[in-house]
Structure 1
Amino acid sequence: MAQLITGIHHVTAIAAGAQENIDFYAGILGLRLVKKTVNFDASGVYHFYYGDQLGNPGSILTFFPYAGLTGGRHGKGMLNTTTFSVASSSMNYWLARLKQFSVEYKQPVERFEGELVVYFEDPDGLGLELVFNDRDDRPGFSYGHIPGEHALKGLYNAEIWEEGYERTAGLLSEQLDHQLIAEKGNRFRFAAKNSPGNYVDILCTPDSLKGLAGSGTVHHIAFATPDAKAQLEVRERVLKRMLNPTPVLDRNYFTSIYFREPGGVLFEVATSGPGFSVDEDPGHLGEELKLPLQFEPDRPGIEAQLIPVKLDFEQFR
């Protein structure tokens, strides 16, 4: 049977401040802002996409910044930690950089063999980790204020907290082409492809409180599928599991379906193309506000609602 899911496509989270979000992710962390657009379901809200040079699947973290939004709460039924892959030789650089910009972090710990993990949070409290490893041959992206050898290479894994792992594990393995590849204590690691950027860790945390949505929390995780045909086949699989997927929705840079997994986390299945170069030159991604065609007639009104933002890296050198 053909593999319909090839790994993680992106993770989407919620923030409170637009400029603060850009300063942290493109400034301090050095990710590329590959697309500046709006929430296709709420045009008065930005949608920022960060990733590697082209925004390849497995590198993308996106945000909806809602000005003044109340903070959420990490807990079960939620994706609580999103991680980035970094070369092992870059640990001292990144610990010094986090300290330089007053980002508090936990001391490095080994998770699985060959992984040293440093936990920290963004200004809204979103759970993040740097995973230092020698298994990732993806090139990192740097605007130049972070040396290329230390640049983040993309996502490493996503961490979901659940009451119990069995039902979510069943969905991942039976409908979404994942396999259990490692476990340690209450952590169960699944992957559609055994490589950094594609790991999904389920943590059994029955004693934790239920997570609450708000700034500093993850909205959904998206899994990659090659094309529209494969996406429809995945949708049929999900329908048979009676998880009520949405119709296929056009997101301009990919098409999507959405559904909630048994533990409550919103899952998306997104096509790998056409990608972020469909409306911008690859050398100038993220420089202009891009709107879907249906919003173009309302551009003046949409722009009037959005707080202007800028990329300024001098303060982050």
Structure 2
Amino acid sequence: MELKGIHHVSAITALAGKNYEFYTKVLGMRLIKKTVNQDDTSVYHLFYGDEKGNAGTELTFFEIPRAGRNHDGANSISEISLRVKNNEAMQYWKTRFEEKKVEHEELSERFGRRSLAFKDEEGQRLRLVSDETNRGVAGGVPWEKSAVPKDFGIIGLGPVMLTVRTRELTEEVITEILGFRKKGAYASQVPGQPDILVYETGEGGTGAELHIEERKDLPPERLGRGGVHHVAFRVNDEEELREWINKIQGARIPNSDFVDRYYFKSLYFRELNGILFELATDGPGFATDEDLEHLGESLALPPFLEPKRQEIEAKLKPLDTKLS
């Protein structure tokens, strides 16, 4: 068994409307599913991705309207990165961020790739990375109706940064149980801190990396809006997922057991620093209950929630995502 790469990352927003505007109108991602948090149906769960919401391109948000701001710290998913096609696209994005007044840093090099750190309106820590030299997991296909030209569009999730108090604990889980392998390291931007270690899985490359930062000087994160809830890794199918469940349970790691999310099947557990991991199947996908041309335009509910549609819709603040 081998994990294929990053499947999705799920974060927290307090403002679904503004979140939708930023990720579709500024970043040009496609809203591929407007649904609800299956564990709390009173709040939206928004999925953004490439043209079809292929595994490895999905950035999702739970709306928690009363969420306080995130208090950044250790034992957290401290940065999400998004892939673009090449270095030329990076220059396009720097200019776009200046025009749209998006908070961002200067273009820089990180682990041999051009990158550009930026934040959304709630302080979510994000980074664009260039796929110019990528030799690993292929990216997705930007939506042709995006607000961003297709050649410059976001093609998927890049490396995910974990900031932890005790690096060895996370390393034990990702290498000995999940099968990640060490790829390299690069210097921390924080003076006096150890190098950031890079691990990869599957075909490797930008779509299959975890970057592990050790920060013993930081208190644990207090999760809120602008923070990240969990990261999911790609599993080929349900049969393989059930093998992973046996492996995780055999290692005596507390876990959710098999969970059917309808659009994919999942397993949840926490690594030894407390960060929530998910293993998720590549399919069935997001066109199972909506026409591909109209993904995300109306509230989609999996069959086991459909009988409660009226009750669910009554609790949600209307969010217009129909395309003009």
Q: Assess same fold via TM > 0.5.
A: yes
Letter of the structure 2 residue corresponding to residue 261 of structure 1: E
Cα separation, partners in 2 of 1:166 and 1:43, compared to 1, 3 Å = same
Matched, 1:153 2:155: yes
Determine the C-alpha separation between the residues in 2 that align with 1:244 and 1:174.
16
Structure 1 residues 110-259: aligned runs within 5 Å: 110-113=109-112, 115-136=113-134, 138=139, 139-185=141-187, 186-193=195-202, 194-259=204-269
Indicate the residue corresponding to 2:315 in structure 1. 305
| Matches of 2:310 and 2:269, distance apart in 1 | 34
Is the 2:296–2:321 contact (alpha carbons within 8 Å) kept by the matching residues of 1?
A: no
Distance 1:232 1:215 in 2: 33
User: Which residue pairs with 1:97 in the alignment?
Assistant: 96
SS in 2 for 1:302: helix
* Aligned pairs for 1:264-303 within 5 A: 264-303=274-313
TM-score normalised according to structure 2 size: 0.92
CA drift at 1:68: 3.2
The alignment partner of 2:74 has SS state of coil
Structure 1 residue 9 and structure 2 residue 7: aligned?
yes
Q: In structure 2, how many angstroms separate the alpha carbons of the residues matched to 1:47 and 1:104? A: 25
The answer (yes or no) to whether the contact 2:297–2:323 under 8 Å persists in 1 is no
Amino acid in the other structure paired with 2:7 = H
Give the secondary-structure state (helix, strand or coil) at the position aligned to 1:154. Answer: strand
Cα shift readout 1:116-162 (whole Å, capped 9, x = no counterpart): 22111111111100112303553333424211111011111100001
Deviations 1:175-218 (A, max 9, x none): 21211111123211111131222111111111122111111111
**Superposition deviation, residue 63 in structure 1:** 0.4
Separation in 2, partners of 1:20, 1:205: 32
Residues 20-51 of structure 1 show CA distances to partners (whole Å, capped at 9, x for unaligned) of 01001111000111111100011111111111
* Deviation per residue, 1:233-273 (Å, 9 max, x gap): 11222223221111211101011111100111000111111
Aligned residue in 2 for 1:37: 35
| 5+ long unaligned stretches in structure 2 | 188-194
Hey, what does 2:57 align to over in structure 1? Answer: 59
CA distance in 2, matches of 1:204, 1:302: 42
Give the percent of matched residue pairs that are identical in Structure 1 and Structure 2. Answer: 35
Is residue 74 from structure 1 mapped to residue 76 from structure 2 by the alignment? no
TM-aligned CA distance change 1:239 to 1:293, over 3 Å: same
Structure 1: gaps of 5 or more residues: none
In the TM superposition, residue 91 of structure 1 has moved relative to its aligned partner by: 2.1
Going from structure 1 to structure 2, the CA distance change for 1:269 and 1:144 (only over 3 Å counts) comes to closer
> TM-score scaled to structure 1, two decimals?
0.94
Structure 2: distance between partners of 1:292 and 1:133: 35
Counterpart of 1:109 in structure 2 is 108
Tell me how many residue pairs correspond in the alignment: 311
Equivalent residue number for residue 190 of structure 2: none
Letter in 2 for 1:189: V
Question: Which whole-Å deviations, capped at 9, do the CAs of 1:48-106 have from their partners, x for residues lacking one?
Answer: 11111111111111000112321111211000100011121012211111112211111
Report if aligned partners of 1:260, 1:266 keep a CA contact under 8 Å in 2. yes
Contact 2:103/2:120 (<8 A) preserved? no
Task: Pick closer, same or farther for the CA change 1:144–1:253 going to 2, 3 Å.
Answer: closer
Quick check: 1:31–1:142 contact (8 Å CA) kept in 2?
no
Is the Cα contact below 8 Å between 1:180 and 1:190 reproduced in 2? yes
Shift in CA distance, 142/164, structure 1 to aligned 2, threshold 3 Å = farther
